[in-house]
Amino acid sequence: MDIDDHALILHGYWRSGTSFRTRIALNAKGVAYRQVGHDLRIGQQRGADYRAINPQGLVPALEVDGHVLTQSGAIIEWLDERYPDPPLLPQGMIDRATVRAMAMVVACDIHPINNLRVLDRLRDDLNATKDVVKGWIAHWIGEGFATLETMIARHGGRYCFGDRLTVADCHIVPQYYAAERFAVDLSPYPRLCETVLRVRQEPAVAAAHPDRQPDAD
């Protein structure tokens, strides 16, 4: 069944890394979509109206022809299957596995540990100070970026993997934005920095930047 592109509704939050990565994928595919913002700072994602859409109470969620897709990685994979040109995964099996591994360094090993709900637990339940929380964030970004620095040096080209935008870029660019927000020292990762600064000039990536979203401050 064909899907009306204009029926796509992205529920997200302008500064959310998972929403950011999903916007990059949508823009790269040239798909028209409408955004609905949910301010995570005041807990709108936990309201009954949004939980009726996504019971987990997390962003993003993508409404598609009467269905709701959740989890950014699953949404991006669906987009790549539904709109195969341009592809966000390379052709070779090993290359695809490598790109997915690069994305998972962010999606599994950095972002979840630094997610707002985790940081709130540190602050509210464990009484972590501002400096402790900042150190926590920097530590886990540093662990992941050290790995990605090596992977980009091995596999990167114009983009984080090779010379085309991939799922790896969709994940790494938003995580870099978060690192800048939290003033993480990025000097140990010159190849990663050089690549991200180049990739985020691409129109599809630039248009996904948090500051350019309709719900941005």
The kind and range of the H/E element at 10 are strand 9-12
| Residue pLDDT, tens place only, 93-148 | 999 999 999 999 999 999 999 998 899 999 999 999 999 999 999 999 999 999 99
Q: What is the chain's mean pLDDT, rounded? A: 95
pLDDT score for 50: 97
Measure CA 152 to chain center: 18
Domains and CATH numbers, the chain: 5-86 (3.40.30.10), 93-204 (1.20.1050.10)
CA distance linking residue 58 with residue 52, whole number of Å: 12
Instruction: Give percent above pLDDT 90 in the chain.
Output: 95
Q: What is the mean pLDDT of residues 60-73?
A: 97
Res 197 pLDDT > 80: yes
pLDDT band of 84, cuts 50, 70, 90: very high
Give the residue from 42, 43, 68 showing the smallest Cα distance to 53.
68
pLDDT score for 3: 46
pLDDT score for 136: 97
The kind and range of the H/E element at 62 are strand 61-64
Res 1 pLDDT > 80: no
Q: Which segments of 41-92 does DSSP mark as H helices, in order?
A: 48-51, 72-82
Q: Which segments of the chain does DSSP mark as H helices, in order?
A: 17-29, 48-51, 72-82, 93-109, 116-124, 130-155, 167-181, 190-199, 203-206
Res 21 pLDDT > 60: yes
Q: What is the DSSP-derived secondary structure letter of residue 185?
A: -
**Residue 30 neighbours by CB distance under 10 Å:** 11
pLDDT score for 149: 98
Instruction: Give percent above pLDDT 70 in the chain.
Output: 97
Output the pTM of the full model: 0.94
